[in-house]
Structure 1
């Protein structure tokens, strides 16, 4: 097919998340919807230029830059941002004001107020402004969402979601921005629970109230680079109760001190006629139970393995045959394909700043509920 458009892309942040973005951009043209677009892998931006050079070489980017200012006046069209929360807000704002399309890592800032600030900047432009939320791009999760939306389990009644990791379990692991409330805006509640909340809202619609929230810090101090000890000022574990506008209730449990769980996200949605379940440690399948399917006494949950008909599957798999496993890498490819398709079409992405800001308002309500030990309504922009 004839190339009709070039899109120059850059990645800001050469750490693990930035490398996932670079991987997604490198493989984005696997989508038929982008077959006439030349995706030019332009720049990796990071003050650690040695790391940036390594990442650029690994993923095929042409050059590196040490500072965001070096790409603001360039011909780069679309930029992904993978920075700590305290740094992402000014960078995303400056990129939008410079006319760039942007996609950031979750969360969108450190609070609902910072997210609202970015929404206003985005609304003043005609640029695509989005946040990744990569887990909803996994074909099994996308297929689960469509099946629930089609009424396969009846009306949703209650749900449960979790995200466990053990990256912070060792008390000797050093103090970083992730353990500082001012720098991060929250611990596991922002780092991990946001993924679960987005996935549940993806399936069930918007949250209207946080019924309760409990935050716990397991390791109160961590060593610094100079050998002293610093206080951990955010949560290692968060437990959140939610009520959705559609009537369903849900619990969310996230923890970064989950022994034996390097990374595990799970969803369970129960309705009037069945349930649906997904776990990231079995990423290529999901479970569906329908109580009115099959003869009485023989009904049981069944495991569904997505294939090419599932959203994102065919566009991200090198061998798009049912049974070949999809997972984390394919989710980032699908994320960048969706972003670049929105840029080409001039349409908002389904995880726009407005959607990400809604998740941040849920987090604000959860933090208020934890402080005040009471239910807190999730505000809408007009109520702020």
Structure 2
């Protein structure tokens, strides 16, 4: 059977997660670029690449729109959309990683606070570690904050739980899953007036709840969904097969990432996300290079979600209990430490993926047994459950 996986998108997703990890670790371990005094081209490139963590999140939004939003768009247009199955699938996919990630965050933070008497966890090293704990009131570990993060209200009503600052983007992800399929459903579904009005009121209520910046980034998700529709419809498929077009798309992607890094701000982020979304159909149309590339791409993509949600509390624990408040200049020995910590975080994520995330389909199948029969499948353009 021919695989429906889009290996270049798998690779992009895995690379984005690795960029987030690499950036957080570099920020913890090495001095800021401005403090170096002098740097050669290689070192400058290292700082540039490891400074793309925030831009990598924009890539995640575009990929999520392509894989999840594209399927929701297709199902709505073909009157095959099921809210019960859609929400169960999305919540299973999210919670099977979020729940253990929140518990592990609590454990690492509590142990770290105990071992350091709270030093570093109280925000006193915020000017040194820009990504680390910064609140002078200490970490927010209340039950209210735990539940708020569990139900995707971080950055809306509560702060990210404990030291796990990267959880901010999960709220955005979830509400994109809700808002845009709901809007599509109201337009496309064969439903009565009362149901349509109730759905419209629910949509308005959700939109009023969400901050403007979150909705603005949602345009990236929508663009990803539109790109998936274009890919499925083979829109400009012949044009995209030209080598010049493919090379130009890759150059455009790299250029947009660098430009977004140099011109920080929401408009730059939005521009990057829209460029990524426009390039995804080109990447999806590229031939797969071979089994080894596919294996690496798939493996990195499979653990990317777990890696994203579990690396930061572990790194914070290691740094604050062992190295703080010192940061170092690049040297072979420090580079070896950097590489070792990268491998520790990746290995930790792989182990947690084995315990939890790899069982997503099994858990969904068990929970969905009593749901109405599954609607007819639309032609696949990727694996929506890898997003």
TM-score when scaled to structure 1? 0.25
Report which of the two has the higher share of strand. 1
Report which of the two has the higher share of helix. 2
TM-score when scaled to structure 2? 0.24
